[in-house]
């Protein structure tokens, strides 16, 4: 269950970033855990997501079977559908499965003019070398 509260700076264009560097879900084929570093950026509208509810929501994926694409895009779309931000993007930087790292990105549309959107700062997977 995600909780939302009124935006204390409604009408102001600003960016909120949540990072979940130890996100886990389950592979729908093998049932083994998958690990990712998620970065969620959004420009609030009338509401903001309450951070503890987001933490618990993301933690619930430890028992959820889903492909990287479904999990990443699904989280972004749910937040967007329920919170109705001015703009939202999510980056899912997944650690290798079967030797192939998979990075998944989704955004609700173009960022509003004038919004400062810094790089998500997560390096691509380099393995040992």
Structure tokens of 114? Answer: 């004038």
Three-state SS at 104? strand
Q: How far apart are CA 76 and CA 30, in angstroms?
A: 25
The catalytic position among 3, 27, 70, 103 is: 27
Active-site residue, 34 included:
yes
Q: How far apart are CA 39 and CA 35, in angstroms?
A: 13
- DSSP letter assigned to residue 9: T
In this structure, what are the phi and psi dihedrals at residue 6, rounded to the nearest 5 degrees?
-60, 140
Active-site residue, 27 included:
yes
Helices (H) and strands (E) in the chain, counts: 2, 6
Q: What residues are annotated to the active site? A: 27, 34
């Amino acid at each position: 269950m995600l909780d939302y509260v009124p935006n204390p700076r409604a009408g102001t264009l600003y960016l909120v970033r949540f990072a979940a560097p130890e996100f886990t879900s389950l592979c729908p084929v093998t049932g083994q855990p998958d690990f990712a570093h998620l970065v969620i950026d959004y420009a609030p509208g009338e509401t903001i997501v309450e951070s503890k509810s987001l933490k618990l929501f993301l933690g619930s994926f430890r028992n959820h079977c889903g492909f990287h694409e479904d999990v990443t895009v699904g989280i972004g779309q749910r937040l967007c559908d329920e919170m109705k931000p001015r703009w939202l993007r999510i980056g899912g930087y997944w650690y290798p499965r079967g030797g192939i790292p998979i990075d998944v990105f989704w955004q609700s549309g173009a960022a509003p003019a004038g919004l400062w959107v810094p790089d998500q700062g997560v390096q691509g997977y380099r393995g040992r070398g």
